A = this chain, B = another copy of it.
Amino acid sequence: MTKVASLEKALSFITDECVLMYGGFGGVGNPPTIINGILEKGVKDLILIGNDAGFPEIGIGKIVSRERAKKLITTHIGSNPIAGKLMVEGKLEVEFCPQGILAERIRAGGAGLGGILSDIGIGSVIEKGKQKVLVGGREFLIETPLQADVAIVHAKKADTYGNLIYDKSARNTNPIVATAGKITIAEAEEIVEVGELDPESIITPGIYVDFIVQSKGVDWKWAWE
């Protein structure tokens, strides 16, 4: 009943044009082994959903910089100038969403909600193309749920059932992203037997995780270096 899988097996679900959601924030908490695997496998035309575009050579940024994505639903791309360049050149379609609302849309996708009502960005460009409703005399935007064909996350530890714990601020968007994939693949720094994680400390219950891949560790230079 173990969910531990080879990288190759996990990558078999990530194919051209699939909707790929990724955990992480500013590169931190992006799953490096899976991302490198995607690059090596040569997957293209991905539709990416995640907090940001990383940095050109850090985390999810590498997939964007190497032009493997055709669309990106995100909150900002300022830390990855190549993403901006591709957007201007028409090679990358980018849909921007306020940061907390992106998080809520992902959570709504995972939690089977039809959407959320938000007052963030009323009267701004954020309204564009969105339905509005009046509730109790106040106007709200309907923000729709986001789901993915495959969600990839990075964890500090996983047990073989897929229960996950995270590492400090590398938790960031990973717990919500883990809930929103039709298939969820967790890359873990360490994989332990069932029963070794304290049930109180588990952040992502294994119910959300389909495959666990052993991480080869963080392989990039960090933003500050």
Which A residues lie at the B interface, using CB under 8 A? 104, 108, 111, 113-119, 131, 133, 135-136, 138, 140, 142, 144, 165-166, 168, 199-201
- Contact across chains for A114 and B118 when beta carbons are under 8 A apart: yes
- Contact across chains for A116 and B113 when beta carbons are under 8 A apart: yes
- Contact across chains for B131 and A168 when beta carbons are under 8 A apart: no
Check A108/B116 contact, CB under 8 A, given A135-B131, A136-B144, A200-B168.
yes
Report the bound CA distance from A136 to B201 in whole Å. Answer: 38
- Contact across chains for B136 and A133 when beta carbons are under 8 A apart: no
Report the bound CA distance from A210 to B186 in whole Å. Answer: 37
Report the bound CA distance from A32 to B142 in whole Å. Answer: 40
A to B CB contacts below 8 Å, 21 in the list: A104-B111, A104-B113, A108-B116, A113-B117, A113-B118, A114-B117, A114-B118, A114-B119, A114-B135, A114-B140, A115-B116, A115-B117, A115-B140, A116-B116, A117-B142, A131-B133, A136-B144, A166-B200, A168-B199, A168-B200, A201-B201
Report the bound CA distance from A201 to B200 in whole Å. Answer: 8
Min CB–CB distance A205 → chain B (angstroms): 13
List B contacts of A104 (CB < 8 A).
111, 113
- Other A-B pairs beyond A113-B116, A133-B133, 4, CB < 8 Å: A114-B118, A115-B140, A135-B144, A201-B201
Report the bound CA distance from A119 to B140 in whole Å. Answer: 19
Would you list the 4 A-B pairs with minimal beta carbon distance, nearest first? A114-B117, A114-B140, A115-B117, A113-B116
List B contacts of A116 (CB < 8 A).
108, 113-117
Using CB atoms, name the residue of chain B closest to A145: B117
Min CB–CB distance A31 → chain B (angstroms): 19
Min CB–CB distance A127 → chain B (angstroms): 14
Report the bound CA distance from A201 to B117 in whole Å. Answer: 30
Report the bound CA distance from A198 to B113 in whole Å. Answer: 32
- Contact across chains for A165 and B200 when beta carbons are under 8 A apart: yes
Report the bound CA distance from A131 to B117 in whole Å. Answer: 13
List B contacts of A199 (CB < 8 A).
168
Min CB–CB distance A157 → chain B (angstroms): 11
